[in-house]
């Protein structure tokens, strides 16, 4: 569908496209791999111009970028939900670890539950990726002493409706404090445990597909959860969703990058 020159699909249409792609030979697992790989590349390309030259080498285009090694091991903090958006986050974690980043994954709602996200989570077991489960200690964010360079929001995607609650709300407030400081809702047990090093830039925040807390199809600002993640950049998979086109969503989405995950939409609609 198009709104002016902006191509978009609704969340329902995206599910249909994914199902048809799977039936046509592009598995759900491969789409997750493509999404996470594309997101990792987009993140590395973005921070290549966002950090000082000594911080990170500019990632070239293409899969070869995954082999880039960085002069200093930058800290990537990745918040993952238990569904497929979290699975995309696990792929990002793997790809960034392979590229020399120091990666810390936070399981917001516990262990993953969808088949492909479980598979990608298990691929992290033999990698130097730290994993922390918020369901085992809801105050874990209070004790974190890492100052991240990169924060990735992979909690909720197109399946989210309503308002954030529980650990997802805690995680969103924690992430937002790095960007908007004390204007975020106050909560003593989710304050960053350490202040920023004197020479540290503010972390660059990325959301996968949709900032957690926003419904992908909303077009009414009254439906927005004000605690939704406020990303610097949102990496939309395959196409923009309706919320990406709304002016009120700009403060949450930041810049929007559309990542190709291998879906041939024109052909699949004709199937």
Is 87 part of any known ligand binding site? yes
pLDDT at 196 over 90: no
Is 84 part of any known ligand binding site? yes
pLDDT at 193 over 50: no
Other CB atoms within 10 A of residue 17 CB: 20
Q: Model confidence over 106-152: pLDDT tens digits?
A: 999 999 999 999 999 999 999 999 999 999 987 777 777 777 899 99
Whether 197 and 77 have beta carbons less than 8 Å apart is answered as no
Whether 132 and 106 have beta carbons less than 8 Å apart is answered as yes
Check which CATH number belongs to the domain holding 177 and give it: 3.40.50.10260
Q: Which residues pair with 129 in a beta bridge?
A: 103
Whether 112 and 86 have beta carbons less than 8 Å apart is answered as yes
Whether 250 and 235 have beta carbons less than 8 Å apart is answered as no
Is 160 part of any known ligand binding site? yes
Cα 105 from Cα 90, distance rounded (Å): 8
Query: What local confidence, expressed as pLDDT, does residue 181 receive?
Result: 56
Is 86 part of any known ligand binding site? yes
Is 3 part of any known ligand binding site? no
Is 104 part of any known ligand binding site? no
* Better pLDDT: 47 or 151: 151
Is 161 part of any known ligand binding site? yes
Query: What local confidence, expressed as pLDDT, does residue 137 receive?
Result: 82
Q: Spell out the alpha helix ranges (H) of 146-254.
A: 166-180, 250-253
For the stretch 56-62, contacts whose Cβ atoms lie closer than 8 Å and that sit 24 or more positions apart, written own/partner, are 59/99
What average pLDDT score do residues 221-244 get? 96
Single pTM value for the model: 0.86
Q: 258: pLDDT confidence band, cut at 50, 70 and 90? A: very high
What average pLDDT score do residues 74-98 get? 97
Cα 69 from Cα 77, distance rounded (Å): 18
Pair type for strands 150-154 and 75-80: parallel
Is 212 part of any known ligand binding site? yes
Is 209 part of any known ligand binding site? yes
Query: What local confidence, expressed as pLDDT, does residue 231 receive?
Result: 97
Q: Model confidence over 166-176: pLDDT tens digits?
A: 999 999 999 99
Q: 47: pLDDT confidence band, cut at 50, 70 and 90? A: confident
What average pLDDT score do residues 184-207 get? 64
Cα 51 from Cα 149, distance rounded (Å): 9
Note down the domain range covering 50.
2-269
Is 163 part of any known ligand binding site? yes
Cα 259 from Cα 239, distance rounded (Å): 7
Number of domains observed in the structure of the chain: 1
Q: What is the mean pLDDT of the chain?
A: 85
């Amino acid at each position: 569908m198009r709104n002016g020159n902006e191509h978009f699909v609704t969340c329902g249409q995206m599910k249909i496209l994914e199902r048809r792609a799977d039936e046509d030979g592009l598995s759900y697992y491969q789409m997750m791999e493509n999404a996470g790989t594309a997101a990792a590349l987009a993140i590395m390309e973005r921070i290549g111009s966002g950090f000082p030259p000594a911080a990170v080498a500019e990632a070239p285009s293409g899969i070869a970028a995954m082999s880039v090694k960085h002069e200093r091991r930058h800290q990537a903090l990745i918040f993952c939900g238990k569904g497929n958006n979290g699975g995309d986050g696990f792929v990002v974690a793997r790809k960034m670890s392979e590229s020399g980043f120091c990666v810390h994954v936070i399981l917001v709602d516990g262990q993953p539950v969808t088949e492909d996200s479980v598979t990608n989570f298990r691929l992290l077991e033999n990698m130097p990726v730290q994993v922390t489960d918020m369901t085992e200690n809801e105050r874990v964010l209070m004790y974190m002493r890492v100052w991240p360079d990169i924060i990735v929001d992979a909690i909720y995607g197109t399946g989210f409706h309503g308002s954030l609650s529980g650990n997802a709300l805690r995680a969103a407030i924690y992430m937002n404090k790095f960007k908007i400081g004390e204007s975020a809702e106050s909560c003593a047990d989710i304050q960053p445990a350490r202040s920023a090093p004197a020479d540290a830039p503010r972390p660059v925040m990325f959301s996968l597909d949709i900032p957690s807390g926003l419904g992908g199809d909303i077009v009414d600002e009254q439906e927005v959860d004000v605690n939704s993640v406020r990303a610097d950049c949102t990496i939309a998979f395959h196409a923009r969703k309706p919320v990406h086109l709304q002016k009120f969503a700009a403060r949450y989405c930041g810049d929007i990058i559309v990542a190709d995950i291998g879906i041939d939409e024109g052909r699949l609609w004709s199937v």
